[in-house]
Amino acid sequence: MDDEDFKTPEEGDIVKSPKERVSFRRNKGQPTTMSVESFTHDPIKFNSTITTEKEKEKESSSIFKSIMTLKPPSDITNFVVRSFGGTGEKEKLVEQVKVEERILTPEEEEDEFILSRLKYHAKSTGELSLKKAGTWFTELSNGFQSAKNSFMGKSDDADKDPMDWEFWGKVINDYDNIIASNPRQFRQHLRKGLPEPIRGMMWQLMSNSKSESLEEEYMGLLERQTRLEKIIRRDLARTFPGHEFFKDPEGPGQTSLFNVLKEEQAFCVLVRLMNDFDFRDLYGPKMIGLQVRNYQFDKLIAEQFPTVFKHLEKQDIKSTMYASQWFMTVFAYRFPLEIVFRIFDIIFAEGSEAVLRFALALIKHNQDTIVTLEFEKLLEYLKEELFEQYIEDVNRLIVDASQIKISKRKLDLWETEFIEILRQSSPEVIELEKMKSENRKLMKSYKLLEQNYELLNREHIDLVNNFIEEKDKCERQFDRNEELQEQVNGFKKILTGDRKHAEHQVQSEMDELAQKNIELIRKNADLQDHVHDLEQQLLDARMALANVENEKEALRMEVVKLKAQMK
Amino acid sequence: MSNRPSSRASTEQNGPSSTGGATTIKPVQVKLVLLGEAAVGKSSIVLRFVNGEFQDNKEPTIGAAFLTQKCKLDDKIIKFEIWDTAGQERFHSLAPMYYRNAQAAVVVYDITKSASLEKAKAWVKELQRQANPNIVIALVGNKLDLQANREVTSEEAEEYAKESGLLFLEASAKTGESVGEIFTDIGNTVFDLAKKIPLENLAQTRSRTGLNNQAGNGRVDLNSGPAEAQPGNCAC
């Protein structure tokens, strides 16, 4: 309930990155391996680490193979990342099987059913970059907050209408994960009706309507004139003539009705309803989809309420006479809008076939009256009064409808059967219609593929750029290596070459020195001899000097003696 | 088709109540279908005829609406069983189911929209090609109250109606002008026709028209109960 519930998720919450390892190899020289350790779905934000290690040489084409076979994360559960939707036959089969099982076991299978529906829509449609998704997410959070605030402000006793703000807050905050982990809780809340203030947001989430390409398309369409504007205007006043909100030609009801295709969000949801929920088939030029629905509906009544069926048959009442308006307007033609909204809640979760469950619930609930009425009264009753008993208790209608079981396999069978009948009566029409529908589906998958391709392409380009950059780095590194190696080799060469020369030189220098040394020693010896001689000579000289001195002293003494004698 | 007693406590405009006269005069059932472009006022004409009401901005009809109305014509009572079809083009494929066994058709256009007369002509062509060959067709120019915006002159439409052998009237569902006449004219013409063509033949030709033989052949069928009892009435 506090603000913490509404913080935007962190990047890491959104993207789960599997370990992907890809090798890039040079086609010459020493191999370089680039290993992408953590590879996220977002082409802009992916971390790569470069390591170099020794590897054998391989063909350069393997680089591109590796890039092209990069696999996107397979376990993405958050709604923001759903670009790679595989909606092939296999998945359809799986879905069918699930729906079939649902009839055998109740609760879990219904959970599965809801999940498979929602996942189907998630996979088949979304294309939203992280950045956009983030903005959308903030929008949702803010929208929820303000809806909650204004609601809280209005009603003084919140107990009277206990809306589980906490649950819905979580759902808005983290739609995919909450639904994936609590399908049953979601189902139970859904059956109580989506809370009015957040219904618009929830419908967008459930139909996964946010899409950049749709928004672009929408902006393009806005600028174009349509020759259908006249027809749209003609129908404005008579779409909900009985409903107060839509009565005033200048009022908000009719204005918004006119703008329904001029409101970005409504436009996106409408497109989803038409294409992904298959409503488009109902409104085609020949309304094949509607005829199929009616046929399925007849078969279902015959199967589940044979008494009613026999009575209707006896009264010659066809489902086209009363049920067309149910299926074409999702009950909005006569039913109060409060009921219609609730029915839409379920359709967004379970798909357009849910209308059949509501139609059958209405028949079931009124069967006792139906079998007593005759043609005119009966037709009027079917068209105008079936819902009367539910007006006071919409929840009961939802519960009743949820208890009607319909086999998807049979629906498909009946569809094929009916198309075959039509083909026999007017083959061209059905062929044309079928081709149109197929064309549309192909167009859809083409667009999806194109988007995926574009995304892949972008990723590819990013990867290639990255690769080229890294390769460039490696190349430079390699060049530098080679340069250094060369230098080393040069040094080595110089070293080994010079050493012998130096040794030789040193040897000869040593020899020379030794020779010199010997000579010096000899000279030294000579000099020593010479010194010795000189010392001897000095000694002799000193001796002689001493003798002379002695003689001199003796003489001096004699002189003194003589002097004294003389005196 | 089942022979089903009339269950509607009809709001009769003139003549004795059917319940009172049930033992003496059985109403003749006439199955009538309304065709025409979207928003020309088909439902409004029927609503005016059946309930004497007019509703601005009536929602578009989906599929078809069924209404009945009895009215007295001389000494006979006609019960119109009216299929008011949807005008939108996409419902076109369902139309045969409603007009296939109809004895009368009211093809409506809007006098303020010339394109709607073109669509009306297309309907007439289709009816003449694919419906009961003896079907009585009335061409009706609606919205006579909007004279100021008229795009289709009375002369133009009348001439076309004459050429094609149609009844022709201009009417206004809003004011009610000439609405009753549409149905009395049709009633009279159906009676005149019934004098010339035995109903058995009508039935035969009808069954041969089947363009779509899927289950939906209309429930209102002149060769069911009342019709068998009625040739005398019609011949008067």
Domains and CATH numbers, chain B: 18-197 (3.40.50.300)
CB-CB: which of B7, B59, B66 is closest to A321? B66
Q: Give the separation between CA A194 and CA A201, rounded to whole angstroms.
A: 10
φ and ψ at residue A47, rounded to 5 degrees: -90, 135
Q: Do A287 and B93 touch (CB under 8 A)?
A: yes
Residue B83 CB coordination number (10 Å): 26
Is A355 within 8 Å of A325 (Cβ atoms)? no
Alpha-carbon distance A291 to nearest alpha carbon in chain B (angstroms): 9
Q: Do B7 and A374 touch (CB under 8 A)?
A: yes
Evaluate if residue A261 carries a pLDDT over 50: yes
Least Cα distance to B182 among B67, B65, B46, B3 occurs for: B46
Q: Give the count of Cβ contacts less than 8 A between chain A and B.
A: 79
Residues of chain B contacting residue A320, judged by C-beta atoms under 8 Å apart: 63-64, 94, 97, 216
A87 interface with B at CB cutoff 8 Å: no
Tell me if A178 is assigned to some domain.
no
ipTM score here?
Answer: 0.71
Q: Do A315 and B4 touch (CB under 8 A)?
A: yes
Is A239 within 8 Å of A477 (Cβ atoms)? no
CB-CB: which of B60, B62, B213 is closest to A235? B60
Mean pLDDT of all residues in A208-229: 80
Q: What are the pLDDT digits (tens) for A35-49?
A: 333 333 433 333 333
Final residue before a domain boundary, out of A425, A443, A462: A425
Q: What are the pLDDT digits (tens) for A465-484?
A: 888 888 889 889 899 999 99
Q: Give the separation between CA A251 and CA A253, rounded to whole angstroms.
A: 6
Interface probe with B: pick from A230, A234, A236, A238, most Cβ of B within 10 Å: A238
Distances (CA, A) of A361 to A200, A301, A367, A468: 26, 10, 10, 64
Q: Give the separation between CA A53 and CA A33, rounded to whole angstroms.
A: 7
Q: Do B93 and A421 touch (CB under 8 A)?
A: no
Interface probe with B: pick from A320, A325, A333, A383, most Cβ of B within 10 Å: A320
Tell me if A304 is assigned to some domain.
yes
Tell me if A106 is assigned to some domain.
no
A398: Cβ contacts below 8 Å, ≥ 6 apart? A191, A193, A342, A346
CB-CB: which of B4, B7, B57 is closest to A238? B57
Tell me if A352 is assigned to some domain.
yes
Interface probe with A: pick from B66, B116, B213, B221, most Cβ of A within 10 Å: B66
Per-residue 3-state assignment (H helix, E strand, C coil) for chain B: CCCCCCCCCCCCCCCCCHHHHCCCCCCEEEEEEEEECCCCCHHHHHHHHHHCCCCCCCCCCCCEEEEEEEEEECCEEEEEEEEEECCCHHHHHHHHHHHCCCCEEEEEEECCCHHHHHHHHHHHHHHHHHCCCCCEEEEEEECHHHHHHCCCCHHHHHHHHHHHCCEEEECCCCCCCCHHHHHHHHHHHHHHHHHHCCHHHHHHHHHHHCCCCCCCCCCCCCCCHHHHHCHHHHHC
Q: What are the pLDDT digits (tens) for A380-422?
A: 999 989 988 898 889 999 999 999 999 989 999 999 999 888 8
Residue A473 CB coordination number (10 Å): 12
Model pLDDT, residue A119: 65
Tens digits of pLDDT across chain B (236 residues)? 433 433 333 344 443 444 444 456 788 899 999 999 999 999 999 999 999 999 988 888 988 899 999 998 888 899 999 999 999 888 888 889 899 889 999 999 999 999 999 999 999 999 999 999 999 999 999 999 999 999 999 999 999 999 999 999 999 999 999 999 999 999 999 988 888 875 545 543 433 233 333 333 333 333 433 333 333 333 33
Final residue before a domain boundary, out of A393, A425, A457: A425
A420 interface with B at CB cutoff 8 Å: no
Is A356 within 8 Å of A300 (Cβ atoms)? yes
Mean per-residue pLDDT over chain A, rounded: 75
Least Cα distance to A210 among A145, A290, A130, A144 occurs for: A130
Least confident window among A236-240, A330-334, A348-352:
A236-240
Interface probe with A: pick from B8, B29, B57, B68, most Cβ of A within 10 Å: B57
Is A272 within 8 Å of A213 (Cβ atoms)? no
Model pLDDT, residue B110: 97
Helix (H) or strand (E) holding A134: helix A130-154
Q: Do A376 and B215 touch (CB under 8 A)?
A: no
Is B121 within 8 Å of B197 (Cβ atoms)? no
Alpha-carbon distance B110 to nearest alpha carbon in chain A (angstroms): 14
CB-CB: which of B1, B55, B65 is closest to A316? B1
Q: Give the separation between CA A553 and CA A533, rounded to whole angstroms.
A: 29
Q: Do A234 and B94 touch (CB under 8 A)?
A: no
Is A328 within 8 Å of B62 (Cβ atoms)? yes
Query: Where on the phi/psi map is residue A27: left (φ > 0), alpha (ψ -120 to 50), or beta?
Result: alpha
Q: Give the separation between CA B93 and CA A19, rounded to whole angstroms.
A: 57
Which of A56-65, A278-287, A387-396, B188-197 ranks highest by mean pLDDT?
A387-396
Question: Structural domain tally of chain A?
Answer: 2
Work out the end-to-end distance of chain B between its first and last CA atoms, rounded to an integer number of angstroms: 26
Tell me if A16 is assigned to some domain.
yes
Mean pLDDT of all residues in A306-320: 93
pLDDT band at A288 (very low <50, low <70, confident <90, very high): confident
Residues of chain B contacting residue A425, judged by C-beta atoms under 8 Å apart: 212-214
Q: Do B39 and A329 touch (CB under 8 A)?
A: no
CB-CB: which of B57, B68, B91 is closest to A376? B68
Q: At what angle do helices A199-206 and A130-154 cross, to 10 degrees?
A: 150
Question: Domain range for residue A38?
Answer: 3-69
The full DSSP string for A503-554 is HHHHHHHHHHHHHHHHHHHHHHHHHHHHHHHHHHHHHHHHHHHHHHHHHHHH
Tell me if A513 is assigned to some domain.
no
Final residue before a domain boundary, out of A360, A393, A425: A425
Residues of chain A contacting residue B119, judged by C-beta atoms under 8 Å apart: none
CATH number at residue A369: 1.10.472.80
Tell me if A148 is assigned to some domain.
no
Tell me if A52 is assigned to some domain.
yes
Least confident window among A91-95, A206-210, A342-346, B146-150:
A91-95
